[in-house]
Amino acid sequence: MIDDILDELQPHLAATSIYGPKGVGKTATARQRVASVLELDQTDDRQRLQADPSLLSTLPGPILVDEWQRWPESWDRVRRAVDAGAGRGRFILTGSSAPRGATVHSGAGRIVGLRMRPLSLVERGVAQPTVSLGDMLSGRAEVGGETDVVLQDYIEEITSSGFPGIRHEPTPRLRRAQLDAYIDYIVTREFPEQGYPVRRPEALRAWLSAYAAASSTTAKYVEILDAATPNVGDKPSKKSTMTYRDALSGLWLLDPTPAWAPTSNQLLRLSQASKHQLADPGMAARLLNLDADSLLRGHAMPKSLGGGSILGGLFESLVTLDVNVYAAMHEARVRHFREQNGRREVDLIVEGIGGRIVALEVKLTATPEDADVRHLLWLREQLGGDLVDMAVITTGRHAYRRQDGVAVIPAALLGP
């Protein structure tokens, strides 16, 4: 999907930054659009640019500066080249981490950043979508269609990962081995390179697993820490766990859903806590040592830190990934709604240009009941015309609109 955004923007911008976790395909995407490549994770190219920064002016353009964070000064060099009058479409920068202490992805109007996420269901080719999020934001969505995708297929998509190089492995065991290697690389290589030495790798892995168990919840970080260190008296300090969070954020491996703050005062007493999400639901499942069979059958299933089922949380993670990808196509923001007392909440609030709101509930069910839509109907009463559409995203086979106006949309049938 990011290719469509790049088609529209990149030729008209002097410098574009594509950022996201390692392995989502940033370099492969950018290489299709450039004439010259400087790979700064390769010693030769890095030393070459350090010795002669004028390459940014003399190499044929467009120029890809890949893994720019390996020499952070390259960001400033590009920014200065833009100030000096670099032509449109001259630079693409890609990066899978943000150097500690560096000001990144803020080109002060000179470098425009685009986040690249793991593959959505549409990008994976799981099904042909029939309901457009863009049409929902316009208030003109036609809701209909049928899919053969069922719960077992969604579970397979969760565990297969949205990282292109991992999900295309031919067997589940190979995919699990690749995810293990990915996690090990993050712990043993990426953290130290970020400036965060890991003295106890097992403690970091335990914290990551606890964070995975908090997927789609607003669990407090102290709760995540407690879950990571059961029956341990000498727990890591809060400062240490915040270090974990900061490093993972710098690697774009966390993709939390911020709390929604309405532009007017229709709603009061809102929670400000973000919903926890890892960038890839497949990585969360692997950290919890869950495969498709165990998720489907519920064998030895741990509980979510929010009290619900792990499968429900991971399904919401998958849908949240999809909605984030589709919303970016329409310059929309994805948030969640929750009152401070937890009495009412809506899983996803998509806020488009002009304040148009689409409210989405995510339910691990094929056919939602009246109880599943009550918060959507309440929110419509509060927002009036600002709420242009509302839906329950399900594991069912049919898309339709209920008599109360709530759309029912199988996750596989939702598209941009």
Q: What is the CA radius of gyration of the chain?
A: 22
Is the domain spanning 2-115 CATH 3.40.50.300? The answer is yes
Tell me how far apart the alpha carbons of residues 85 and 88 are, in angstroms, rounded to a whole number. Answer: 9
| Residue 326 · residue 133 · CB < 8 Å | yes
- SS3 state at 63: strand
Q: How confident is the model at residue 301 (pLDDT cuts 50, 70, 90)?
A: low
Domain residue spans of the chain? 2-115, 121-415
Tell me how far apart the alpha carbons of residues 188 and 177 are, in angstroms, rounded to a whole number. Answer: 16
pLDDT value, residue 269: 66
Tell me how far apart the alpha carbons of residues 387 and 267 are, in angstroms, rounded to a whole number. Answer: 13
Closest by CA position to 161, among listed 140, 179, 147: 179
By residue count, the chain amounts to: 416
Q: Give me the helices (H) in 191-328, please.
A: 191-193, 201-213, 221-228, 238-250, 281-287, 292-297, 310-328
List pLDDT tens digits, range 315-351. Answer: 999 999 999 999 999 999 999 999 877 789 999 999 9
List pLDDT tens digits, range 156-190. Answer: 999 999 999 999 999 999 999 999 999 999 999 88
- Check whether 379 has a pLDDT greater than 60: yes
59 pairs with which residues across the strands?
none
Joined together, the tokens standing for residue 58 give 């003399």
How does 323-333 read in b/e, with b if 16+ C-beta sit within 10 Å?
bbbbbbbbebe
Q: Which amino acid is at 160?
A: S
pLDDT value, residue 102: 55
Percent of the chain with pLDDT over 90: 77
What is the mean pLDDT of the segment spanning 393-416?
A: 98
Q: How confident is the model at residue 409 (pLDDT cuts 50, 70, 90)?
A: very high
Helix axes 43-51, 73-83, angle to 10 degrees: 50
List pLDDT tens digits, range 60-109. Answer: 999 999 999 999 999 999 999 999 999 999 999 999 887 665 555 455 56
Angle at Cα 269 formed by Cα 327 and Cα 387, nearest 5°?
A: 35
| Residue 416 · residue 386 · CB < 8 Å | no
